[in-house]
Amino acid sequence: MDVNKKKLLENKYQFKTNYVNNFKKFKEDILEKKIIPHQVEFQAPPRGKKICWLECPYCYGLSAEDTKERLSKERGVEILKQILQGGVKKIIFAGYATDPLNCSYIEELLDLTILNKGVFGFNTKALRVSDDFLSILQKRDIVEGSYISLSIDAGSNETYNKIHDVKSTSNIYDKVLQNVKNLGSIRAKKKFDLSAAYLVNIHSGNIYDYEKFINDFIEAGCNLLRFTFPQQPKDIKTEKGVVPTEKEIVKYKLELEKLKIKYSNNDCSILVIDADSENDIYNKPRTIPCYARYVYPTVGFDGWLYNCSQSSAPNFRNAALGNLNEKNFWDLFYNYDSENFKIFSSNCNSKITNSGCRCDRKEHVVNSSIIESKIFKN
């Protein structure tokens, strides 16, 4: 892999991407209502009654309310067209409570993004990867910078079922690995990155699983593997060890750094990421003021437009931008008071705080960088 591309890829997963390159222009564009988001997250609605396939005990998404409202295929495609035709260059298909590959029309959304020359990203557990999805990746010209990021968190069927709270003895890890091999065979000829993540806690923190995960997913065609640690989920009480303490993280890191040295190679980077310690955000709920809505607003699975990926469910509607079934994307996005921006922002931040949302690591870092620039002080 090219050294510069490898560094850019590693920086992305270490929260070192520049979401705002020019703070002065960022402010001017907001006040003039010319700002175009760096990216939009599109949380495609799930098929079936459940929001997600799994109920992982460390998942922030367990706190999501479900009113059973879903963004229809017709409206979902129309909203994505509005976003792409309005100038957004990057679409992230993910979900803080859902998985994009569990959407019945995800193939249409992917194809639409690629045909509009958009960079795509997928954050998924890859329990389902359809033949049509693979076919689109294979036959289309993909914009460089696109990626598929896989949440695995195990190196064996037994550990996979334990950490994801699967009650059966199904060989889900094997199924996911085969799906990733199918993706990897296409990635070898295309311009997208394929990475796999391993959240370390009391159920997954062992050398056998670490090494098997590394070997399996390098062989499957991934060009980056990363080990990281769960954040405390909102309003969810977890058993001891599911979210490691700072002391436990130090112990895990000592083991993982040895494996990083042993297995990293030119074709596949291995990262050990302790973003909470590195950014001093361990157990910190949010960074305020929040500017997420101008950088990466999020289309929720329920058809509402939210400030960010971590506040994108019906229980956060008091702080939401509005209902996409009633208004188009850009009408809602630019619906803010730029003439009295300080007052408007103050009111928004109060709503965000009262909603009880929790920043993910990306949002902490981005908000901190904008605050440190002091661009909105004047």
Q: Mean pLDDT, 10 residues at a time, over the chain (378 residues)?
A: 77 81 96 97 92 79 85 97 98 93 97 98 97 98 96 96 87 97 96 94 91 97 94 64 83 94 92 78 78 96 94 92 97 96 93 84 87 90
User: What is the spatial distance between Cα 338 and Cα 329, in angstroms, rounded to a whole number?
Assistant: 18
**Within-domain flag for 378:** no
**What per-residue confidence (pLDDT) applies to 280?**
67
Phi-psi domain of 269 (left: phi exceeds 0; alpha: psi -120 through 50; beta: other): beta
- In this structure, the dihedral spanned by the alpha carbons of residues 183, 185, 188 and 193, taken in order and rounded to 10 degrees, is 10
User: What is the spatial distance between Cα 312 and Cα 298, in angstroms, rounded to a whole number?
Assistant: 7
**What per-residue confidence (pLDDT) applies to 277?**
72
Write down the H helix ranges in the chain.
Answer: 3-13, 23-31, 73-85, 106-115, 131-139, 157-163, 172-187, 207-219, 246-263, 275-278, 292-295, 329-333, 341-355, 361-373
**Within-domain flag for 263:** yes
The values of phi and psi at residue 346, to 5°, are -60, -45
**What per-residue confidence (pLDDT) applies to 282?**
60
Upstream peptide bond of 233 is cis (omega within 30 degrees of 0): no
Contact 11, 17 (CB under 8 A): yes
User: What is the spatial distance between Cα 55 and Cα 59, in angstroms, rounded to a whole number?
Assistant: 7
Residue 311: burial class (beta carbons within 10 Å; 0-12, 13-18, 19+): buried
**Within-domain flag for 145:** yes
Parent domain of 254: 3-373
Number of domains in the chain: 1
**Within-domain flag for 93:** yes
Give the CATH number for residue 265: 3.20.20.70
Contact 76, 44 (CB under 8 A): yes
Residue 66: burial class (beta carbons within 10 Å; 0-12, 13-18, 19+): middle
3-state SS string for 270-325: EEECCHHHHCCCCCCCCCCCCCHHHHCCEECCCCEEECCHHHCCHHHHHHCCEECC
Tokens describing residue 81: 């067209």
